[in-house]
A and B are shown apart, each in its own frame.
Chain A
Amino acid sequence: MSKVKSLEELMKIKEQAIQNIKMRESGKRGKIIVAMGTCGIAAGAKDTLKAIVEYLSELKIDDIAVVQSGCMGLCEVEPTIEVALEGQEPIVYGHVTPENAKRIIQSHILEGKIVSDLMVKRGEV
């Protein structure tokens, strides 16, 4: 740690620290729900979850919460994730491998475009 001499330096520490604790708080732009039922886990949902978290962190996206849920009932297309952005209809994606997860984040979260080839359902499950 070096000594802080200015408001800018203090702000920098603050912003960095906020990144680290922000995921704690609710009230974000949206969330990605990873289905972690037995079927999802068997199909590799844990790796998907890790990939999502890592990729979001790599892109410094801090307004998307990542939460886990139970089985969505779409066992045949597991791993599934639901992307629910504030004010938009939630989208459920299937066969979300770590690679597909990156595509979804890139396209849906960053560019606002739904990844239609992976989409299995619109609206609440």
Chain B
Amino acid sequence: MALTTNTILICAGGGCISAGEESVKQAFERKLKEFGLDTVVKVVETGCMGACSLGPLAVIYPDGVYYQKLTPKAAEKIVEEHILKGRVVPEFLFEGEKEKLTIKEKPRGAEEIPFFARQVKIALRNVGVIDPMSIEEYIARDGYFALHKALTQMTPEEVIKEIKDSGLRGRGGAGFPTGLKWELARQQQSDIKYMICNADEGDPGAFMDRSILEGDPHSIVEAMTIAGYAIGAKQGFVYVRAEYPLAIERLQKAIEDAHAYGFLGENIFGTDFSFDIEIRIGAGAFVCGEETALMHSIEGKRGQPRVKPPFPVQRGLWGKPTVINNVETLALVPPIILRGASWFRQFGTEKSPGTKVFALAGKIKNTGLVEVPMGITLRELLYEIGGGHPQGKQIKAVQTGGPSGGVIPAEYFDTPVDYESLGKLGAIMGSGGMIVLDEDDCMVDVAKFFLEFTVDESCGKCTPCREGTKVMYDILDKITKGEGTMEDIEKLEKLALVIKDSSLCGLGQTAPNPVLSTLKYYRHEYEAHVRDGVCPAKRCKAFISYVINPEKCVGCTACARVCPTNAIRGEVRKVHEIEQDACVRCGSCIEVCRFGAISKVTPAVSSAVAR
């Protein structure tokens, strides 16, 4: 293979693909060919680089210069300027550098950009760095060396001890010690055991598992094989949702290539250990992320949970001892085996060692994927890495753990991020989704959003979960429509506790969490809706009115023209008025008004025509 002068790494994670990565890549290749550089410049598609809001992203090596928000035009310019002439193209440089950069100055590499510099990438070590379709690139980054070490230099017990010593806990959210799970499975007497990778990622806003599968599928193949050796399983399954077609495609290729090299199949590395992996595609039911439901689904049955015990390590898939680990958990296994438990423990805290991947979403500048050491404070995570609020507003709270988690108000942002600390606040670590909320987010509305999700996703097996979440949703709906009573709030609380106590699986047990945690910290917002007819965030339509400030209105008619219900009346160059009965509160008028004359008020104005 010919040597290359430059390598262009293009992020081909889901975010960048939907932002047009494909056409950017084609533009790069077309332009390179035009200049006759296609033989010496390599274009590589990698997994998610993390800064999804700035996609499509590319890094140009050897300089390591990051470019953002690329278009085909931008790609052509970069080839002409950067590749051909070695001149950095400032207008597409990674966020915030444009202003500071003079021509002579060297643009910052990943180690100097705060978004990247504060991260410690272990689970994401290869994501965004290697070509996920190339097993050789994975091997170049020490891939399959951990498997070799485990199979040839360690007994299964030693592998388990290493994982136990590392203190690795399940990254799916519950935080069960991984080594202990393996040990329990190892101790079971059975001719057949199974190893399952849970890739049924379903929390709204969480996409770290998808990114790992898309960006570094071999790490999962290697880790599952190590786990299979440790527990005594010969067969593994990856349960992945059908909504992740790219992850499935790349994983499939990884499995095939691993077979070709003999990292899967009979007598791996010439030892007497044999292991194979099959992909099982789920239909995307949230409950199938629950381990017993997941196993039912693999068996071809309806995806519903069952009573535990017996736990899967005792009686799992087809009644055989089974270990189920989450994608991110598994991605951490090979480095631990290769570099040792004490190496892993240098990151994170005593009880929560290592790193955790978070998906930042909502009102935050750097939405995307970040991996940080456990124990980092929420403030560091949100402000230093996340870049704070995009418009510099106050962040009100952060919602962690998706529909199973809760909100954490800004006054607790100095809390270290670990399993115990988040649990104490009434939130959970969860799979690592973080939705950032600001003053425009109504907490009742947030709770309603998550409840709507769980109402949809409840499998229906347990009555409290099936019926109870619906009743809770209806109450929240009533409150947001201005029909709630103070008794409703108490009823909500009571129902929440009953559902938590009487549901079989994690879905039902955690479904009321968003309501409980918003009630805990933002009860005054619920009460404002019910008692005062006010939505403090001015979000719930029943409690707001749009009004025109006659001092500022110049009568340009822009608002009247855009109003879908013709609720705005007024003559040209005269002050306009909004007819409240006709207004549907869509907000179009605010967006078009260039004079700042329209504002939202709460409580709603009662008169038919308000100024």
Give residues in A with beta carbon < 8 Å to B. Answer: 1-7, 10, 13-14, 16-21, 23-26, 28, 31, 33, 36-37, 41, 46, 49-50, 53-54, 56-57, 62, 65-71
Interface members, chain B 296-329 (any A CB < 8 Å) = none
User: Is B608 an interface position by the 8 A CB rule?
Assistant: no
Partner of A21, one of B137, B261, B262: B137
Q: B85–A68 contact, CB under 8 A?
A: yes
**Subset of 11 A-B contacts with CB under 8 Å:** A1-B257, A5-B262, A10-B139, A10-B148, A17-B140, A19-B1, A20-B1, A41-B84, A54-B2, A68-B84, A69-B85
Most buried by A among B36, B63, B86, B137: B86
Residues of A within 8 A of B137 (CB): 17, 20-21
Q: State how many angstroms separate the Cβ of B66 from the closest Cβ of chain A.
A: 13
Within 8 A of A (CB), among B539-588: none
Complex contacts, B2 vs chain A, CB 8 Å: 53-54, 57
A103 → chain B closest CB, angstroms: 19
Q: Is B114 an interface residue (CB 8 A)?
A: no
Q: Are B148 and A18 in contact (CB under 8 A)?
A: no
Q: Chain B residue with minimal CB distance to A33?
A: B86
- Residue of A1, A2, A23 near B3 (CB, 8 A) is A23
Are A21 and B130 in touch, CB under 8 angstroms? Answer: yes
Q: Please, how many angstroms separate the alpha-carbon atoms of A1 and B264 in the complex?
A: 14
Cα A18 to Cα B143 in complex, Å, equals: 12
Q: Which of B7, B83, B85, B269 contacts A24, CB < 8 Å?
A: B7
Contact across chains for B140 and A36 when beta carbons are under 8 A apart: no
Size range of the chain B interface in the assembly: 35 or more
Q: Within the assembled complex, what's the spacing in Å between the Cα atoms of A24 and B8?
A: 8
Q: Which single member of A31, A53, A65 contacts B40 (CB below 8 Å)?
A: A53
- Whether A70 lies near B7 (C-beta < 8 A) is no
Residues of B258-292 at the interface with A, using a CB-CB cut-off of 8 Å, are 260-263, 269-270
**Which residues in B have their C-beta under 8 angstroms from that of A67?**
5-6, 62-63, 86
- Known pairs A23-B3, A26-B63; list 15 more (Cβ under 8 Å): A1-B257, A3-B260, A3-B261, A4-B262, A4-B269, A5-B269, A23-B6, A25-B64, A37-B85, A54-B2, A54-B3, A57-B2, A68-B5, A69-B87, A70-B87
Contact B61 A49 (CB under 8 A): no
Contact indicator B145/A10 (Cβ below 8 Å): yes
Residues A13 and B139 in contact, CB atoms below 8 Å apart: yes
**Across the interface, do A23 and B5 meet the contact criterion of CB distance under 8 Å?**
yes
Most A-side CB within 10 Å, residue of B6, B40, B83, B270: B40
Are A20 and B136 interface neighbours, CB within 8 A?
yes
B140, A49: Cβ atoms under 8 Å? no
- The residues of B that contact A18 with a CB separation of less than 8 Å are 140
A4 to B148, CA, bound (A): 10
Say yes or no: B62 contacts A65, CB within 8 Å: yes
Are A23 and B140 in contact (CB-based, < 8 A)? no
CB A116 to nearest CB in B, in angstroms, measures 26
Task: List B contacts of A50 (CB < 8 A).
Answer: 39-40
Cβ of B599 within 8 Å of any chain A Cβ, yes or no, is: no
Residues of chain B touching chain A, judged by Cβ–Cβ distance below 8 Å, are: 1-7, 9, 35-37, 39-40, 61-64, 83-87, 109, 130, 134, 136-137, 139-140, 142, 144-145, 148, 152, 257, 260-263, 269-270
CA distance A62 to B5 in the complex (A): 11
Mostly helix, strand, loop or mixed at chain A's interface? mixed
Q: Give the docked Cα–Cα distance between A3 and B135 (Å).
A: 13
Complex Cα gap A63–B369 (Å): 32
Given A33-B86, A70-B87, CB of A23 within 8 Å of CB of B63 = no
Q: Which residue of B lies closest to A27 (CB)?
A: B62
Which residues of the other chain, A, contact B4 by a CB distance below 8 angstroms?
Answer: 23-24, 53
A residues within 8 A CB of B136? 13, 16-17, 20
Minimum-distance CB pairs A-B, first 5: A3-B262, A17-B140, A57-B3, A69-B86, A24-B61
Whether A28 contacts B85 by the Cβ 8 Å rule is no
Contact call A1/B86, Cβ cutoff below 8 A: no
Q: How far is the CA of A37 from the CA of B84 in the complex (A)?
A: 8
Cβ-closest chain A residue relative to B84: A36
Query: Which residue, A10, A31, A41, A66, has most C-beta atoms of chain B within 10 A?
Result: A10
Please tell me if the beta carbons of A49 and B139 are within 8 angstroms of each other in the complex.
no
| Closest A residue by C-beta to B265 | A3
Tell me if A56 and B85 are in contact (CB < 8 A). Answer: no
Q: Is the CB of B152 within 8 A of A66?
A: no
**Chain B, residue nearest A23 (CB):** B4
Q: How far is the CA of A43 from the CA of B6 in the complex (A)?
A: 22
Tell me, in angstroms, the Cα distance from A5 to B266 when the chains sit together.
Answer: 12
| A26 contacts across to B, CB distance below 8 A | 61-64, 109
Which B residues are in CB contact (< 8 Å) with A24? Answer: 4, 7, 9, 61-62
Instruction: Say yes or no: B261 contacts A1, CB within 8 Å.
Output: yes
Q: A23-B62, A53-B3 are in contact. Are A70 and B9 (CB under 8 A)?
A: no
Question: A57 CB to closest chain B CB, in angstroms?
Answer: 4
Contacts A49-B40, A68-B83; A10 near B140 (Cβ below 8 A): no
- The minimal Cβ–Cβ distance linking A36 to chain B, given in whole angstroms, is 5
Give chain B residues whose Cβ lies under 8 Å from the Cβ of A31.
Answer: 62
| Complex contact B152–A7 (CB within 8 A) | yes
Q: Judging by beta carbons under 8 Å apart, are A56 and B84 in contact?
A: no
* Chain A residues whose C-beta falls within 8 Å of the C-beta of B9 in the assembled complex: 24
Q: Given A17-B139, A28-B62: A70 and B269 within 8 A (CB)?
A: no
B61 with A25: CB separation less than 8 A: yes
- What separation, in Å, do the CA atoms of A41 and B64 have in the docked complex? 24
* Contact in complex: A49, B5 (CB < 8 Å): yes
A67 to B87, CA, bound (A): 11
CB contacts (< 8 Å) of A7 on chain B: these are 145, 148, 152
Complex Cα–Cα for A3 and B265 (A): 10
Q: Please, which residues of chain B bring their CB within 8 A of the CB of A33?
A: 86
Give B257's nearest chain A residue, CB to CB.
A1
A25 to B152, CA, bound (A): 32
CB distance from B357 to the nearest CB of A (A): 24
B63, A70: Cβ atoms under 8 Å?
no
Whose C-beta in chain B lies nearest to the C-beta of A47? B36
Q: Which residue of B lies closest to A11 (CB)?
A: B145
Q: Looking at the assembled complex, report how far the CB atom of A26 sits from the nearest CB atom of chain B, in whole angstroms.
A: 5
Taking the closest CB of chain A, its distance from the CB of B383, in whole angstroms, is 29
Contact B261 A70 (CB under 8 A): no
Looking at the complex, which one of B39, B62, B85 makes contact with A70 (CB distance below 8 Å)?
A: B85
Of chain B, the residue at the smallest CB distance from A18 is: B140
Q: Are A21 and B62 in contact (CB under 8 A)?
A: no
B439 CB to nearest A CB, Å: 43
Contacts of A5 in B (CB 8 A): 262, 269-270
Shortest distance from the beta carbon of A38 to any chain B beta carbon, whole Å: 9
Q: A10-B139, A49-B5, A57-B2 are in contact. Are A4 and B261 (CB under 8 A)?
A: yes
